[in-house]
Chain A
Amino acid sequence: MKRLLLGALVVFLLGAVHGTRVAAADDDLYTAFGGKTGLAALMDDFVDRLVIDSRTKPFFEHADLDNLKTQLTDQLCALSGGPCQYGGKDMKTAHQGMSIRTSNFNALVEVLQQSMDAKKIPFTVQNRMLALLAPMHRDVITK
């Protein structure tokens, strides 16, 4: 009986934790980034920097930049709790065969930080978005 109660408690706590997670996935991060307009402007600036920065430039030589901007905007919109659906390739497929190293991934993060700084997004808000993006390193880093 004790065991059963303990089991019920665990299930309840897991449910509570899960519930909190769902509740946390509201749209305040999306709003903090200026909604879809803000994110589109940010991704516009970001991609423009990516193709200029010598560390990230080689990876975008054959990319359709307008499409990239759209896909990234949708992705960050969905990730931050906005009303969007990311319809692009999954991260693993998108980066296959690109020989991306950790240093390249980190360079991209730095460029994103530059863009977020340029758009006057507060550091703490930047970090909330970066925390959502960072786990993608598992699929993006291929080398």
Chain B
Amino acid sequence: MDISIRHAAEMFALALITVASTSEAQIGETGKLRLTGGVNSVDGVAGGGLTPWAVIGSNATADQVGAAPFGTVVKSKDYQLGTAGGAVGIRDRVELSFARQDFNTMATGAALGLPNLHLKQNIYGLKVKLSGNAILNQDTWMPQMAAGVLYKDLDAGGFAPTLTALGADDHGADFYVSATKLYLSRGLLVNGTLRLTKANQNGLLGFGGTAQNDYRPMAEGSIAYLFRKDLAVGGEYRMKPDNLNPSILGVGLKEDDWHDVFVAYAPTKNISVTAAYAGLGKIVPAIQPRTQAGFYLSGQVSF
């Protein structure tokens, strides 16, 4: 994608969020119950921290439009990821989302002869609710179902030629279906997601590779327990492909699954803060052989 198209797409996403906030104000106060819209994942979509849920983001219910801007920082031992963006929920049926990720490669970039290397990625999401109601249909086991697509556009800077040599594309799409259910009488929220993806490290190391270039189904799951109406704790697991293993760097780009444990706190209906301890496995073990564990902090405002 060339720069002007990328810029136009960003402007479009911003305009969408602005329009959504305005029309929300015209329609009136939006009315979802606290924490039931999930938070924004690192990819911008409504869900847990790592994985999409079948819920539609923002506070908007069936006759409303709402928005949920967010910011997230993940700091592991050797890397740092900053994400900002937002989701727009339309009539509790369709969700449009946008996230801009900035991955600071820190010492690894320098070791590769690319000091101050930042991998930047724009993620555009569309999610459609297919059936069910995760929150209100408490008399059935049937979850809420949704399907979505995430289009990811990577700007790898000075690392781009290396990715090309590894056989990885600089853009790609994830396709997923999610099933989410709140078992209210037990205070448990459960989500399962199946994602078809070629993304290496969520797309920050491109899409596909010489060793493996097909879409692969990856299972993801979240479970959360509601302690109070403003406080949930839980955990997530996300399988990832391993397309760059082996590569011209041998096992040096081997990739691991992700998991986390989190606490989400919503002091008001419009604000939530999520703190997590994330296990991200090894990231570019050729340079950083140790496991990347770290803290995840995210803030969200939703209308």
Which A residues are within 8 Å of any B CB, using their own CB? 55, 101-104, 106-107, 109-110, 113, 123-124, 127-128, 130-132, 134-135, 137, 141, 143
Contacts and interface: CB of A to CB of B under 8 A. Distances in A.
Contacts of B133: 137
B137 A103 contact: no
A-B residue pairs, 3 tightest by C-beta = A103-B31, A102-B61, A131-B185
A127 B226 contact: yes
20 contacts: A101-B31, A102-B61, A102-B63, A102-B92, A103-B29, A103-B31, A104-B31, A106-B33, A106-B61, A123-B187, A123-B228, A127-B185, A127-B187, A134-B136, A134-B137, A134-B138, A135-B138, A135-B139, A135-B140, A137-B133
Contacts of A130: 138, 184
Interface in B29-44: 29-33
Interface residues of B, number: 26
Interface string B264-277: 00000000000000
B31 A106 contact: yes
A89 B143 CA distance: 30
B290 interface: no
A80 B133 CA distance: 23
A143 B135 CA distance: 18
Given A109-B33, A123-B229, A101 B138 contact: no
Given A130-B184, A134-B135, A110 B33 contact: yes
A135 B184 CA distance: 12
**Most A Cβ at <10 Å: residue of B32, B136, B226:** B136
B14 interface: no
Interface in B204-228: 226-228
Contacts of A132: 138, 185
A87 B33 CA distance: 30
B251 interface: no
B30 A103 contact: yes
